[in-house]
Amino acid sequence: MNVTTSFTKNKIVHLLPEGKISCSAPSNIALVKYWGKYPVQQPANPSISFTLDQSKTITTLYFKEKEIPNDNFEFELLFEGIAKPEFLPKLESFFSKIEPFFEFLKQYHFKIETRNTFPHSSGIASSASSMSALAYCLTTLEAQICEIGDQDYILKKTSFIARLGSGSACRSINGPMMVWGTHEGIKESTNLYAVPFPFTIHDHFKNYQDTILLVDKGKKEVSSTVGHQLMHEHPYAESRFKQAYQNITRITEILTSGNKDAFIHLVESEALTLHAMMMTSMPYFILMKANTLLIIQKIWEYRKNTGSSVCFTLDAGANVHVLYPENEQKVIKKFIESELVAYCENGNYICDKIGFGIELL
């Protein structure tokens, strides 16, 4: 796919003098992980994720035509009602990356108000939901002033633009499952944006639940950006990329056939492999906490004793995503409350489930 011909600047039909656009965008949790990337924000291996429902960012983009035209980006940012100057350099970098694809960015002064329904920078992919929300506000504004009515194009461009701010953000656009990265078994898959999983998901995996145990709500000691960079010289990088590619093939078969045992083994293996890459990079680092491991052991013990289909996955952080079918919701909730909440920071956890992507508010 040629980026320059697919997502070029669209011609402005009528410039709105001012207004606002609000949307919500969910986080997502990868089942097959992406870890390592190439310029510009392209994945070293394909990944597949569940789109979440409750863990999301809510963003309002206020825009007003500049009184005095200039060649600068003009924006201000409020995160949960508070000015966050430390976020501005990343936002400036993002606007610079996406400027070739929008005609209007330097014609407006923007005010961005944003908030999360979950803790920021704690391994719940806050950058995924925040960048996809902002991207959708911008592509929606473009659709209005350029009179674009093709919703499929708008969503693909949103995923493409979100990717330039945060790689995993491109997977938060649709649901219930998204694939990002070129794979011969996934039609239309590309490194440039995410596409919906194109096959019928077995009933076993519909309406899946995800309870996120907040082991550590603080900011991660090593950012995902740094972690991705460490894959460039990683001794096991090429083997890992090959493994992830093969696991996309395997999980496609699993999701369509309904093999719950195979799902458990692949998803948990992927989670531990992600953290193994962190522990074997140079410099090495560990994002899991002691309570992360205790929760994992409790889940294994419970599954062995009950025959449950509960399993876990991890993102780039200490928190544990407990995944289970909807028909086990009552018993797993009791298990979580009696056995796992004690390992959460201040007993905090989030009850989530599969969702269906971004929406205008």
Helix axes 151-165, 88-98, angle to 10 degrees: 130
Whole-angstrom distance, CA of residue 119 vs CA of residue 246: 33
Whole-angstrom distance, CA of residue 25 vs CA of residue 318: 23
Instruction: Give yes or no for a contact between 47 and 273, defined as CB atoms under 8 angstroms apart.
Output: no
Nearest to 77 by CA among 92, 87, 67: 87
- Using DSSP's 3-state secondary structure scheme, residue 217 falls into coil
List the structure tokens of 318. 């200490």
User: What tens digit of pLDDT does each residue of 265-309 get?
Assistant: 999 999 999 999 999 999 999 999 999 999 999 999 999 999 999
Give the pLDDT confidence score for residue 218 in this predicted structure: 78
Whole-angstrom distance, CA of residue 224 vs CA of residue 309: 30
Q: Is the pTM of this model over 0.85?
A: yes
H/E element, 103 = none
Among 24-33, 135-144, 214-223, 331-340, name the one with the lowest average pLDDT: 214-223
Q: Are strands 320-324 and 209-213 parallel, antiparallel or unpaired?
A: antiparallel
DSSP strands (E only) in the chain: 18-32, 37-38, 42-43, 47-65, 74-79, 82-83, 108-116, 177-180, 194-196, 209-213, 311-314, 320-324, 349-353, 359-360
pLDDT at position 120 over 80:
no
User: What tens digit of pLDDT does each residue of 230-249 get?
Assistant: 999 999 999 999 999 999 99
